[in-house]
Structure 1
Amino acid sequence: MDRVKEKNFNKTGYAGNSPLLIYTLCYLSGIIFGNSHSYDCNIYLYLSVLFTIITLTAYYFNFYIRAVNLDIFLKLMLGASLFTAGNFNISQSPYAKKNLFSNLLTKEEKTEIRLVAKSDIKINRNYSTSHCFSPEYNEGVLLYLDKKIESNNCEIGDTIITKIPLREITTPNGSLFDRKGYYNKMRIFSQGYLREGNFTIIKPKGKTAVQHLKSRMALFIKEFRAAADNQEWADMIIAITTGDKSYLDQESKDAFISSGTMHLMAVSGLHAGFLFIFISFILSFLGNRLLPKIVRSVAIITALWIYCAIAGFSPSSLRAAIMISMLTIYRLTGRSSLSLNSLCASALLITLFSPESLYEPGFVLSYVAFLSILFINPKIDSLVHSDNKIVRWFWGVISISIACQIGTSLISISLFGFFPLYFLIANILLMPLSAIIIYLCCSTALLWLAGFGYNLFFKALEITAKTIYYIAARVESLPYSRLEADINAGYRLIIISLILVIFVDFGLQRGQKRYICAGLALNAVIVYLLS
């Protein structure tokens, strides 16, 4: 779904024909600026209202009175209005940098607290956990539960009343993973241990549609894990299809991280694309008249958003759901869709309701990967021409994998501290297998809802999951599978500039690009000598 096939792809014109691009950048810049500076949020509100009034006034004069030379001023004011709106939005968010502090840890030790369960109880090998939220203190708590507590006792939406002591979440000494920072970004600052008999559970009078869906999904996962002969492959399937990696052991996570295929366990455009193809195929018997097209489009959009809810409305799944919904509507109405404009619209919608998403690695990686497919992939894809469908598909997977790796490698190195050398081999082998997993799971879920025969696909799922893990583990075991890297800010800027100059057309001739690339390479040598 994310592959762009356009001949004579003019990237400068493509960006220029996306009216939302500049305004999205203004809004996102406002979020970044507002999170870095602790000014009074009312200032941003007043400025945003002022710029909006000026923009509307300028639009009136430009449209009705036909005043000249107002176009540029109108765009500047609209950009300024969105910039200040981004500032105001992030300053009001509880996830803003200035608001990342705990109120629960300052309470008296024996104070009663009410916690709402936001996730089902995750039963791991050594412990059970649940993410909860305190409405009174507006922050989350990570609960560790006694093994004696049955998982059916606490469901999503239940209120837990307890007086347990809470302690601050910390990062273990010598750990490469910033555990404290990871949870703090989700406004989870404290953790506690829940023993049998020191809490009370109150069931809600009614649940929202999303809570019902999550409860049903938790029940399905529980039955699926119980019916599986081996929970390890069941946990892998859950991670690939829902993005929930909490059941996976560290060894399995390391295998996928080292092979450069961890993105298969984050619900994104790849997963949404597979679901789009699956539903389109299932409903293809309806035909191509207007009414069947409407029914098929409604079914696709509904299924996508249900899938997005199952994935916990993660930024990558939201991006995919919004863009494929737009694509489906465009196809229904016969209009052409503009991928970059759809991408900007999805970014605006997500950050409008959740401005802190801009700082989530999943958000950044998802959007950078899609931009890489838009701007870098066409040049790589054009290197091989063939009329053979198998060769075209095979090269398509290779070109998209290379493009995404070029675009996201700096972010991945910053997050994990290494570069997966054999990412191309692993992606070529594992992407088709992940598609098989998703199609089999869709069929299993449909039969489970029907109430019969869903265990028919278990053997096929087990074989596919074992094959996926075997490949990821073998790739990880290859020599130099992880190239340790630590790229400083100077090198990152030079590498980003090189990528832009090589793959994005700015109206520059080939000779001019060579001079710029040579200059950037010389700068890289100077940075190395001075470091």
Structure 2
Amino acid sequence: MLAEHKGEIPFLIYLMPFLAGIIAGLYFPVSVEILYISIAVLFCFFLALNLTFGKANIYNHSWIGGLLIHLLLFMIGYTALELNDNRTDKAYFEKQRADLLLVRVSNEPVVKQKYVRCIADVLQCGDLYNQRKASGKLLLTIMPDERHQLQYGDELLIPANYRAVDPPANPAGFNYKAYLAHQNIYAQSFLYPGQYRVMGYQPANQIINSALKTRQYFVSLFKANIKDTTAAAIASTLILGYKADLSPEVTQTYSRTGTIHVLSVSGAHVAVVYAFIAFLLGLLKHSRKTQWLKAIIAILLIWAYALLTGFSPAVCRAALMVSMVIIGNTSFQYVNMANLLAFSAFLLLLYNPLMLVDVGFQLSYLAVAGLLMFQPVINNWITFKSKYAATLWYYISASLAAQLITFPLSAYYFHQFPVYFLISNLLIILPSAVILYSGLSALLLSMVPFLKSVAALGFWLLEKTLTYMTMALSWIEHLPYASVNKLWYTLPDCLLLSGMVLLLFLFFFNRQVRYLTASLVCLLLFSASHSYGAIKLAGDNSITFFSINKHQAMLLKNGSQGTAITDLSAADPVFKYTIQPAADSLGITYLTIINQNEDLSKNYLKKRNDLLQFKQMRVFMLRPEYLPGSGKIDVDYLYVTGNPHFQLSDISQMIAYKMLVIDATNSAKNIECMVAEAESLKIKYYVLKRNKSLTVSSN
């Protein structure tokens, strides 16, 4: 399992209160001063305990010392998180009045359609004549100036017209605000050409700058030597961690087949790179002195690769673990892998506690924990005399272990389960190794002039392997029942499911019935909770007016049936990221999509022209094409869409309504006029633009 006794895994034990402190800080932030005082008090107690150990007979109450150590680690985790929040800095830019900001691009800018998006560190704030030191981070979305291509290290003078990042506007929408907050980014700015000026070029870190330029050079080599643009994009992602050119279709293929981890440079990649480095270093003469030299070279090269791929949490974890294993093996010391895993997590979280909420960090550590705990147990279920069958079963057990422990969390985040994950993962074992070895070899050989013909062979092998591997995964993706979708459950449900898996493993490990009983209790509680939620959703009837910039959308839910009235098609990415997740989270299994010009007649909904009758509720869609009828219409909601220009006083003569709903297709000026008139007429209204969606129940 993990260890014979807890003395082998001290870091795993001490990691628990440290993690608890970080989690407490996420939900219950307090001032750093209070935390400092708490740590000082605990340290004084701990010191006093050691000084009076003999006189007070503390040795009869050893639990006191352990409790103090755990409390101290809890407070250290709490404090580390609070200190990581740059808003506590007195020079934080949002605390200062300014007209201009001097910022420095702190990551590699990413091109999204016609915009460039990057993160910038704020250096100074003020006006043209008076600049003060400032701190903090901004998300910049820039329509670039063709005369200058933005890059890491560019210093820009920009107007201080930033605004807070908006929370998710629609049900089940991706919480981009929280995602950025976990990177210490709380504000954003949109800039057109002419609104910013490039003041200089001063990279904050020359090592990172060199690594980014090297990666860009390698990416250009892939593009130049691989004809298939999709294969070149996958090669850049899989080998170098460069995802800017990866298409959503390719990402979906790997996600639905359970092989998305291949597209994230992780521990497996680092392990293959280490094997490659070890092979090359094995050519050196072996002696006690050269052994340490090879260890140092291997560690430096591994961290250079981690730097080249962007220092993702998974890569940092793997690089740290491999480095410790190399040191342990070189010094002939026993290394407990579980303790090493906990040690790497402790160091990374001490450096940046916000890594804990990174999905990649969570899944990476869970997968390795599954390999350490579950894989040996599963592997021992069946024994084979044939070494080939034993090797195949080893890889099967590894895939089962990693998938088993990560399933609750991955389903919670991504709401799907790849049914054929075992086939997919077995399929990519050999091709992944070939891709990494051929890709790295081709990149290195291409830099040697007289070996470029050999490098061309490596690029050819890389392209063919990538092409056939992606084709095979695409075939698996389109098999019947390739994935189970619409898996929506709460965080408590996720914890119960994870507890069930862990307790079931403990039962298989030591055959104690209490673990099986506890696992079944978790399963029962999960089933009850999930069933209650499903039953509640099945009885809900509601209308959701979506807040989607420049688009009109309504979702009418009748139990497990639903109708979306929108100007978006089902294939539109905006539909996939807004309306579809909302429908799935609401338990809608049968969704009908119509546009605003279509009529519809169902048992729960009738739509004719712009009038909707949903259950006992009526909605009128007021559009620019509206022509008054002969009689007055009584409705519950007047839904204004398409930016019509009517006076509400005139509309009220023809349509009687209880509430005015103004969607995001209307211009800011028109909304302002309608709001002013609604307030003067004392009409209840709701504006969707830059606000949350509106859901009303019709039960």
Counterpart position of 1:142 = 140
- Equivalent-residue separation in structure 2 for 1:41 and 1:79 (angstroms): 19
Counterpart position of 1:183 = 180
Q: CA deviation at 1:506?
A: 10
Counterpart position of 2:401 = 403
- Equivalent-residue separation in structure 1 for 2:55 and 2:208 (angstroms): 46
C-alpha change, 1:144 and 1:529, in structure 2 (3 Å) is closer
Counterpart position of 2:479 = 478
1:120 pairs, out of 108, 124, 133, with 108
Structure 2 regions of 5+ residues with no counterpart? 124-133, 534-699
What one-letter code is carried by the residue in structure 2 that aligns with 1:51? L
C-alpha change, 1:248 and 1:491, in structure 2 (3 Å) is same
Which stretch shows the higher mean deviation, 480-489 or 25-34?
480-489
2:430 pairs, out of 409, 432, 436, with 432
Q: Any conservation in 1 of the 2:154–2:203 contact (CA below 8 Å)?
A: no
Counterpart position of 2:499 = 497
What one-letter code is carried by the residue in structure 1 that aligns with 2:439? C
What is the SS of the residue equivalent to 1:69? helix
Q: Any conservation in 2 of the 1:128–1:144 contact (CA below 8 Å)?
A: yes
1:133 pairs, out of 110, 113, 121, with 121
Which stretch shows the higher mean deviation, 405-414 or 222-231?
222-231
Counterpart position of 1:298 = 296
Counterpart position of 2:26 = 35
| Percentage identity across paired residues of the two chains | 23
1:86 to 2:77 alignment: yes
Counterpart position of 1:367 = 365
Q: Any conservation in 2 of the 1:58–1:70 contact (CA below 8 Å)?
A: no
What is the SS of the residue equivalent to 2:283? helix
C-alpha change, 1:123 and 1:501, in structure 2 (3 Å) is closer
Counterpart position of 1:5 = none
2:46 pairs, out of 55, 58, 61, with 55
Which residues of 2 match residues 384-403 of structure 1 at below 5 A?
384-403=382-401
Q: Any conservation in 1 of the 2:497–2:523 contact (CA below 8 Å)?
A: no
Q: CA deviation at 1:205?
A: 8.1
- Equivalent-residue separation in structure 1 for 2:499 and 2:233 (angstroms): 41
What one-letter code is carried by the residue in structure 1 that aligns with 2:153? G
Deviation per CA, 1:511-531, whole angstroms, max 9, x where unpaired? 444444444444455445644
What is the SS of the residue equivalent to 2:334? coil
Q: Any conservation in 1 of the 2:32–2:83 contact (CA below 8 Å)?
A: yes
- Equivalent-residue separation in structure 1 for 2:226 and 2:113 (angstroms): 16
- Equivalent-residue separation in structure 2 for 1:33 and 1:206 (angstroms): 32
Cα RMSD between the aligned structures?
3.2
- Equivalent-residue separation in structure 1 for 2:65 and 2:503 (angstroms): 31
Which residues of 2 match residues 413-432 of structure 1 at below 5 A?
413-432=411-430
- Equivalent-residue separation in structure 1 for 2:513 and 2:195 (angstroms): 76
What one-letter code is carried by the residue in structure 1 that aligns with 2:246? L
- Equivalent-residue separation in structure 2 for 1:191 and 1:443 (angstroms): 42
Q: CA deviation at 1:240?
A: 0.9
Q: CA deviation at 1:17?
A: 2.8
Q: CA deviation at 1:13?
A: 3.0
Q: CA deviation at 1:253?
A: 1.1
Deviation per CA, 1:398-440, whole angstroms, max 9, x where unpaired? 1111111111111111111111111111111123222222112
Q: CA deviation at 1:487?
A: 2.6
Counterpart position of 1:263 = 261
Q: Any conservation in 2 of the 1:149–1:196 contact (CA below 8 Å)?
A: no
Q: CA deviation at 1:26?
A: 0.8
What is the SS of the residue equivalent to 2:140? strand
What is the SS of the residue equivalent to 1:285? coil
Deviation per CA, 1:457-493, whole angstroms, max 9, x where unpaired? 2211111221232122222212222212123345434
- Equivalent-residue separation in structure 2 for 1:403 and 1:521 (angstroms): 19
C-alpha change, 1:377 and 1:14, in structure 2 (3 Å) is farther
- Equivalent-residue separation in structure 2 for 1:425 and 1:377 (angstroms): 17
Deviation per CA, 1:292-335, whole angstroms, max 9, x where unpaired? 22122112111111112122222111111111111000000111
* Structure ranking higher in strand proportion: 2
What one-letter code is carried by the residue in structure 1 that aligns with 2:179? Y
C-alpha change, 1:169 and 1:445, in structure 2 (3 Å) is farther
What one-letter code is carried by the residue in structure 1 that aligns with 2:300? T
C-alpha change, 1:191 and 1:239, in structure 2 (3 Å) is farther
- Equivalent-residue separation in structure 1 for 2:492 and 2:176 (angstroms): 28
* Structure ranking higher in helix proportion: 1
Aligned residues: 515
TM-score calculated relative to the size of structure 2 = 0.67
Which stretch shows the higher mean deviation, 232-241 or 15-24?
15-24
What one-letter code is carried by the residue in structure 2 that aligns with 1:487? Y
1:467 to 2:455 alignment: no
What one-letter code is carried by the residue in structure 1 that aligns with 2:72? S
Q: Any conservation in 2 of the 1:26–1:79 contact (CA below 8 Å)?
A: yes
C-alpha change, 1:496 and 1:14, in structure 2 (3 Å) is farther
Which residues of 2 match residues 79-478 of structure 1 at below 5 A?
79-94=70-85, 111-123=99-111, 126-135=114-123, 136-146=134-144, 148-149=146-147, 151=149, 154-163=150-159, 166=162, 177-188=174-185, 189-195=187-193, 198-204=196-202, 207-450=205-448, 453=452, 454-478=455-479
What is the SS of the residue equivalent to 1:376? helix
- Equivalent-residue separation in structure 1 for 2:386 and 2:95 (angstroms): 63
Based on CA coordinates, which of the two structures has the bigger radius of gyration? Answer: 2
- Equivalent-residue separation in structure 2 for 1:143 and 1:186 (angstroms): 17
Q: CA deviation at 1:356?
A: 0.9
- Equivalent-residue separation in structure 1 for 2:234 and 2:105 (angstroms): 24
What one-letter code is carried by the residue in structure 1 that aligns with 2:155? T
What is the SS of the residue equivalent to 2:440? helix
What one-letter code is carried by the residue in structure 2 that aligns with 1:140? L
Q: CA deviation at 1:448?
A: 4.2
Counterpart position of 1:20 = 11
- Equivalent-residue separation in structure 2 for 1:191 and 1:38 (angstroms): 27
- Equivalent-residue separation in structure 1 for 2:434 and 2:208 (angstroms): 27
Q: Any conservation in 1 of the 2:3–2:9 contact (CA below 8 Å)?
A: no
What one-letter code is carried by the residue in structure 1 that aligns with 2:488? D
Higher RCO structure (Cα 8 Å, ≥6 apart): 1
C-alpha change, 1:468 and 1:125, in structure 2 (3 Å) is farther
C-alpha change, 1:504 and 1:206, in structure 2 (3 Å) is closer
C-alpha change, 1:237 and 1:173, in structure 2 (3 Å) is farther
Deviation per CA, 1:4-55, whole angstroms, max 9, x where unpaired? xxxxx4x463556311222111111111112211322211111112222333
C-alpha change, 1:174 and 1:103, in structure 2 (3 Å) is farther
What one-letter code is carried by the residue in structure 1 that aligns with 2:418? P
- Equivalent-residue separation in structure 2 for 1:268 and 1:342 (angstroms): 17
What is the SS of the residue equivalent to 1:141? strand
- Equivalent-residue separation in structure 2 for 1:205 and 1:506 (angstroms): 54
